[in-house]
């Protein structure tokens, strides 16, 4: 299953008949063209579900409707078990950036987190998961695929990368996350359920 966010709409692609049967789910074959999909999304539903028995084929077809950019980033934890958030474009976010040519996801994630937050020492831990969201660019819409890793650092003096629109950095405890989630992106909220599978945040 894939969950892709476009603004406030979550788009679910599934090959699971149980998931498809428990909610209004469209057949992908009826909406696998950009015009048809855009028209449906424009109706403003909070959740759209598409079903096809061939999930890989549906995903490849969906990707083909957009320009695809891959990015990598991290949830950085310190010795107090706080995690680092960045404030960019008036929302709380997590550090990530575009994977460069011939760069691995892991190397890109470490590089981007260092650049955006000013870390000098940081340790790569486990892979968390992947998020997907769609946003507009001047020459069309982009599907961003972001790969996320657990990271660890105790650097105390951090500097936000202002030229990337980052105006603040904040270490946030787990109990402080729900308030922060009131002003973040839905894909970040979903990522945190991957990071904390017991879903207590």
Tell whether 153 and 84 lie within a shared domain: yes
What is the torsional sign of CA 57, 134, 115, 150?
negative
Tell whether 102 and 7 lie within a shared domain: no
- The count of domains in the chain is 2
Neighbouring C-alpha atoms within 13 Å toward the C-beta of 23: 14
Place 95 in a pLDDT band, splitting at 50, 70 and 90. Answer: very high
User: Is residue 124 domain-resident?
Assistant: yes
Tell whether 93 and 128 lie within a shared domain: yes
Neighbouring C-alpha atoms within 13 Å toward the C-beta of 144: 20
Q: Parallel, antiparallel, or unpaired: how do β-strands 123-137 and 2-6 relate?
A: parallel
Tell whether 34 and 127 lie within a shared domain: no
Tell whether 77 and 45 lie within a shared domain: no
- The domain containing residue 32 runs over which residues? 2-63
Among the candidates 43, 63, 83, a domain finishes at: 63
Tell me the pLDDT tens digit for each residue of 11-26: 999 999 887 776 679 9
User: Is residue 200 domain-resident?
Assistant: no
User: Is residue 48 domain-resident?
Assistant: yes
Q: Which CATH number is 180's domain given?
A: 3.90.79.10
**pLDDT value at position 19?**
78
Per-residue tokens: 170: 């904040």
Tell whether 56 and 109 lie within a shared domain: no
Among the candidates 17, 33, 63, a domain finishes at: 63
Tell whether 40 and 131 lie within a shared domain: no
Tell whether 40 and 108 lie within a shared domain: no
Q: Parallel, antiparallel, or unpaired: how do β-strands 166-172 and 140-152 relate?
A: unpaired
> Token pair 């660019």 is at which residue?
137
Tell me the pLDDT tens digit for each residue of 46-90: 999 999 999 999 999 999 999 999 999 999 999 999 999 999 999
Tell whether 80 and 141 lie within a shared domain: yes
Average pLDDT over residues 170-186: 93
Among the candidates 63, 83, 102, a domain finishes at: 63
Tell whether 59 and 78 lie within a shared domain: no
Distances (CA, A) of 32 to 36, 105, 131, 152: 7, 29, 21, 41
H-run or E-run covering 183: none
Give the mean pLDDT of the chain.
Answer: 93
Q: Parallel, antiparallel, or unpaired: how do β-strands 91-93 and 83-88 relate?
A: antiparallel
User: Is residue 201 domain-resident?
Assistant: no
């Amino acid at each position: 299953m894939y969950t892709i966010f476009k603004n406030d709409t979550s788009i679910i692609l599934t090959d699971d008949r149980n998931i498809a049967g428990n909610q209004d789910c469209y057949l992908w074959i009826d909406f696998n063209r950009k015009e048809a999909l855009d028209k449906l999304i424009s109706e403003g539903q909070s959740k759209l579900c598409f079903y096809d028995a061939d999930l890989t084929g549906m995903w490849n077809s969906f990707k083909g409707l957009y320009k695809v950019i891959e990015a990598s980033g991290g949830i950085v934890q310190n010795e107090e078990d706080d995690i680092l958030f960045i404030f960019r474009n008036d929302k709380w976010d997590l550090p990530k950036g575009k994977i460069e040519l011939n760069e691995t996801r892991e190397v890109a994630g470490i590089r981007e987190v260092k650049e955006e937050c000013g870390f000098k020492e940081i340790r790569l831990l486990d892979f968390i998961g992947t998020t997907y969201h769609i946003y507009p660019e001047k020459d069309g819409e982009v599907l961003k695929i972001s790969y996320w890793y657990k990271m660890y650092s105790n650097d105390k003096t951090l500097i936000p990368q202002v030229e990337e629109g980052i105006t603040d950095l904040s270490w946030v405890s787990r109990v402080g996350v729900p308030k922060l989630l009131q002003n973040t992106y839905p894909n970040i909220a979903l990522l945190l359920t991957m990071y904390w599978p017991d879903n207590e945040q």
